[in-house]
Amino acid sequence: MHVPDGFIDAPVSVATGVVAAAGVAVALRGSRRELDDRTAPLAGLVAAFVFAAQMLNFPVAAGTSGHLLGGALAAILVGPWTGILCVSVVLLMQAVLFADGGLTALGVNITDMALVTVVVAYGLFRLLVKTLPRTRASVTAASFVAALVSVPASALAFTGFYALGGTTDVPMGTVAGAMVGVHVLIGLGEAAITALTVGAVVAVRPDLVYGARDLVAPLELRTAPAGNGTETKAA
């Protein structure tokens, strides 16, 4: 759900714009620490991936389908800072190129869909990975929970902005309930897709899953027992 112009009043739009700009600035510095001069090409390619993955439709039933939002997935795969940058750039480009999401609502969109989603998802993911046993299954489980919670959290953040600067007087309790209810359902889909995707990457390239880097067993040097013949051949 990309918020269009006119949904949130001007003062709150400006305030969230400041929050979003500060968040992106912090993410830029953090990402430079994570990737140094590889930031631009890698984050750019991952942003292109998030953009493409959002076009991948997952059929639900009877002709309906959902798609990935990608905040939690990006955070787990490339790390929180780069994840924030990727999702923010995707949102920016969608607003500027495709008019999807208003220009003045960009602050709201980046704050709830990039900042809140990534922070909640990554925090929860790391917490779970640290407490669960160090196996591949727990990485998958942790990404499921992280993605599941991140979507209603983002919806809740949006409801908060709406309560502050909404342009219509609606009963906030009802709205919050409805938003969280609907987004728990969306979150279930997001969680399943995120967990399956992270599982697929962990199975092939565990070193590329940023959030689970410390689970990768370090390469060990094994010396074949003497007289095996494999090394002596070269000599």
Partner 1 sequence: MGAGHAHRLYREGSSPVHRLPPHCKIAATFLFVLVVVSTPREAFAAFAGHAVLLGTVAVLARVPAGFLLKRLLIEVPFVGFAVLLPFVARGEQIEVLGLSLSVSGLWGAWNILVKGTLGVAASVLLASTTELRELLLGLQRLRMPPTLVQIASFMIRYMDVVSGEMRRMRIARESRGFETRGIRQWSVLAKSAGALFIRSYERGERVHLAMVSRGYAGTMPVIDAAVASRAQWARACALPAAALGVCLMGWLVP
Residues within window 87-106 making contact with partner 1, judged by CB under 8 A: 88-90, 92-93, 95-100, 102-105
Phi–psi pair at 5, nearest 5 degrees: -65, 150
Q: Both tokens of residue 28?
A: 């830029």
Residue 59 bridge partners (DSSP): 65
Q: Counting contacts by CB under 8 A, is residue 109 touching partner 1?
A: no
Write out the binding residues for partner 1, residues 30-69 only, by CB under 8 A. 31-32, 36-49, 51-53, 55-61, 68
Other C-beta atoms closer than 10 Å to the C-beta of 63 total 6
List the one residue from 20, 69, 75, 77 that touches partner 1 (CB under 8 A).
77
Query: How many angstroms separate the CA atoms of 74 and 78, rounded?
Result: 6
Q: C-alpha 153: how far from its chain's center? A: 12
Query: How many angstroms separate the CA atoms of 232 and 235, rounded?
Result: 5
Q: C-alpha 106: how far from its chain's center? A: 17
List the one residue from 25, 26, 164, 216 that touches partner 1 (CB under 8 A).
25
Of 87, 76, 82, 86, residue with least CA distance to 208: 76
Query: How many angstroms separate the CA atoms of 84 and 92, rounded?
Result: 12
Nearer to partner 1, 152 or 165 (CB): 165
Number of residues lying near partner 1 (CB under 8 A) = 76
Q: Counting contacts by CB under 8 A, is residue 231 touching partner 1?
A: no
Q: Counting contacts by CB under 8 A, is residue 177 touching partner 1?
A: no
Q: Counting contacts by CB under 8 A, is residue 137 touching partner 1?
A: no
Whole-number minimum distance, CB 235 to partner 1, in Å? 34
List the one residue from 15, 19, 28, 182 that touches partner 1 (CB under 8 A).
28
Kindly indicate which of the ranges 131-139, 145-153, 197-205, 214-222 contains the residues binding partner 1, using the contact rule CB under 8 A: 197-205
